[in-house]
Amino acid sequence: MPGLVQPPPTAGRAMAAEVAEQPHRWERLLDRSGARDSDLARAVSLVQAYRPRFVLLVARGTSDHAALYAKYLFEILCGLPCGLVSPSTMTTYDATPAANGVLMVGVSQSGGSPDLVRSLEVGRARGALTLAVTNRADSPLARAAECHVDVLAGPERAVAATKSYTAQLLALYLLVDRLRGGTGAAAARLPEAGARVLDQEAHIARLAQRYRFASRLVCTGRGYSYPTAREAALKLMETSYVAAQAFSGADLLHGPLAMIDPQVPVMAVVAEGRGGDAMLPVLDRLTASGADILTVGRASAADRADATVVLPDDVPEELSPLLEILPFQTLARHLAIARGADPDRPRGLDKVTETL
């Protein structure tokens, strides 16, 4: 099993560098987004003129978790009903659903997935306003859309997406905040807060040893933190080859709780705010089941946990996912190396997965 093989001395260096870059990349995106002629300003202007009645988001993999975060933003902050597209309806089944009054947002690191491009093409032809959020302004997805927001994450060399994911989160937040009349000012604290989280690397590296021989684990969260739980599970699966499942805190109690025992660690994201409040009864149920619990987020959840990573509490709840994922990215890297893997090059995976 992984852990019996010595990884190369360079294992995880690219991922480590890209995780560390994130506060700087956020600063860059914040600086550029404030310009009147920015692609974000143009996208906001087009969306406001279009006045959508509904939002559809289309994405795959890590970007799908960023899209899920955007779903919470659009519904909570803008009051717009929002859904996630199943691209196969338009690729495999050749469906062409009506899209009048729909804002269709394609989210992709590379912008190169044919199924996402086809989805935006169909949406645009059927009346939707199409917007691409990518890390490549010259990508097929960006060209297929009527407007594009560049997340400005820079080249990402590690297969596991890290900085492009949080840059997507920030770009989507800035978009939604501007649409509701905000200025993005609440995000100004993020780079410094992110640096404080990354300063906990030594603590997180020790936590990796705690889970070195785990074969299964569960990630959970509610509200804005649910996308974090899903992304955390994906990072752990693709880098460390551990069977990680993600559930919302509410869904975890509807059946999956039965599989929890002391041999199945639970990693719970417990933010400051309403989502974190809703997780406290879930933690109580997990404690009663004898689960080994790691909490990431608020300090007050530590008394319900066996291990904890405390995050800064001076950013709004809707921005907490940018901080919450950082410990999981770091944990995934250290856990992979402890288990004998190279997180920069997960076996069988490529940087761009082309799904038809």
Q: In terms of domains, do 177 and 248 share one?
A: no
H/E stretch holding 220: strand 216-221
Domain that residue 224 falls in: 191-338
- Both 200 and 329 in one domain: the answer is yes
Tell me: do 218 and 300 sit in the same domain.
Answer: yes
Pair 149, 289 in one domain? no
Contacts 24+ apart (CB under 8 A), 43-51: 43/131, 43/147, 43/148, 43/149, 43/175, 44/175, 44/178, 44/179, 46/129, 46/131, 46/146, 46/147, 47/103, 47/129, 47/131, 47/175, 47/179, 48/179, 50/103, 50/129
pLDDT attached to residue 5:
67
Residue in 266, 263, 310 with CA at minimum distance from that of residue 286: 266
> Residue 196: enclosing H or E segment and its boundaries?
helix 190-198
Q: What span, in angstroms and rounded, lies between the C-alpha atoms of 160 and 223?
A: 24
- Sheet with 147-150, side-by-side order of all strands: 82-84, 54-59, 102-108, 129-134, 147-150
Asked if the structure places residue 352 within a domain, the reply is no
Q: What is the pLDDT of residue 2?
A: 46
User: In angstroms, rounded to a whole number, what is the distance separating the alpha carbons of residues 209 and 151?
Assistant: 34
Q: Do 265 and 325 belong together in one domain?
A: yes
For residue 21, tell me if it sits in a domain. no
Do 169 and 53 fall into the same domain? yes
- Asked if the structure places residue 347 within a domain, the reply is no
Q: Among 163, 183, 203, where does a domain finish?
A: 183
Longest dimension (CA), the chain: 59
- Any domain includes 348: no
3-state secondary structure string, 33-54?
HCCCCCHHHHHHHHHHHHCCCE
CATH code at position 313: 3.40.50.10490
Task: Output the pLDDT for position 37.
Answer: 86
The H or E element that residue 108 is part of is: strand 102-108
pLDDT averaged per 10 residues, the chain (length 356): 66 96 97 90 97 97 97 98 96 96 97 96 98 96 97 94 98 98 96 98 97 95 98 96 96 89 94 97 94 96 95 96 98 96 81 55
**317's tokens:** 């709840």
Q: Which of 123, 149, 183 is the last residue of a domain?
A: 183
Task: State whether 64 and 178 are in the same domain.
Answer: yes
pLDDT at residue 349, as a whole number: 61
Q: Are residues 299 and 272 in the same domain?
A: yes
Q: Is residue 10 part of a domain?
A: no
Which token pair is 207?
Answer: 């936590």
Residues belonging to the chain: 356
In a domain, 163, yes or no: yes
Q: What pLDDT, on the 0 to 100 scale, is given for residue 292? A: 95
Residues 230 and 153 both lie in one domain = no
Give φ, ψ of 253 to 5 degrees.
-80, -10
In this prediction, residue 1 carries a pLDDT of 47
pLDDT at position 355: 55
Q: Is residue 24 part of a domain?
A: no
The β-bridge partners of 133 are 107, 149
Residue 356: which residues within 8 A CB-CB, separation 6 or more? 91, 92, 114, 115
Closest CA to 234 of 41, 48, 63: 63
Q: Are 154 and 213 within one domain?
A: no
Kindly state whether residues 197 and 170 are assigned to the same domain: no
Residue ending a domain, choose from 183, 214, 232: 183
Number of domains in the chain: 2
> In the prediction, which pLDDT does 6 show?
76
Query: Do 175 and 54 share a domain, yes or no?
Result: yes
Indicate whether 29 belongs to any domain. no
